[in-house]
């Protein structure tokens, strides 16, 4: 079945960096756009970034633009989120999610279980 598994979360100091990974299985990863969405403790959902199925286009939320980079390796069925200049307000569970439709921006029909990132000194 289609599955997404995030990894790479942990505790990092303010100003530090972290790289999250999302391993995909059960579907043709290279045919779908992918998202990162986060949720701070006790708060709502916050869209972070999107990458096109072929990696040729990326978009970011205003709060992470210039600090986070989304990328993908279609040969390894893996999505990444490189996070730099981390702030306390970046503390959240980070989810990766798959577009519902082939090659078009769409609703996210498959989500990972999430990985926790804590930014604290």
Partner 1 sequence: IQLTQSPSFLSASVGDRVTITCRASQGISSYLVWYQQKPGKAPKLLIYAASTLQSGVPPRFSGSGSGTEFTLTISSLQSEDFATYYCQQLNSYPLTFGGGTKVEI
Footprint of partner 1 (CB under 8 A): 35, 37, 44-47, 50, 59-62, 95, 97, 100, 105-109, 111-114
Q: Rounded to the nearest whole angstrom, what is the least distance from the CB of residue 115 to partner 1 in the complex?
A: 11
Query: Between 15 and 54, whose beta carbon lies closer to partner 1?
Result: 54
- Do residues 90 and 83 lie in contact, with contact meaning Cβ atoms separated by under 8 Å? yes
Question: How far apart are CB 35 and partner 1 at their closest, in Å?
Answer: 8
Q: Which residues contact 103 (CB under 8 A, 6 or more apart)?
A: 31, 32, 33, 53
Q: Give whichever of 97 and 119 is closer to partner 1, judged by the CB atom.
A: 97
Q: How far is the CB of 61 from partner 1 (least distance, A)?
A: 5
SS3 category, 92: strand
Nearer to partner 1, 59 or 118 (CB): 59
Identify which of residues 30 and 39 has a Cβ nearer to partner 1 in the complex: 39
Going from the C-alpha of 67 to that of each of 25, 57, 104, 105, the distances in angstroms are: 28, 17, 26, 23
- Calpha distance 78→70 (Å, rounded): 11
């Amino acid at each position: 079945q289609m599955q997404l598994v995030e990894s790479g979360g942990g505790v990092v100091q303010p100003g530090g960096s972290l790289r999250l990974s999302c391993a995909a299985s059960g579907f043709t990863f290279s045919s779908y756009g992918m998202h990162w969405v986060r949720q701070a403790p006790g708060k709502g959902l916050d869209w972070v970034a999107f990458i096109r199925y072929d990696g040729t286009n990326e978009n970011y939320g205003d709060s992470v633009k210039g600090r986070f980079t989304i990328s993908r390796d279609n040969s390894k069925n893996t999505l990444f989120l490189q996070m730099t200049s981390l702030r306390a307000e970046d503390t959240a569970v980070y989810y990766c999610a798959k577009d519902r439709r082939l090659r078009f921006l769409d609703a996210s029909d498959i989500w990972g279980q999430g990985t926790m990132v804590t930014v604290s000194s």
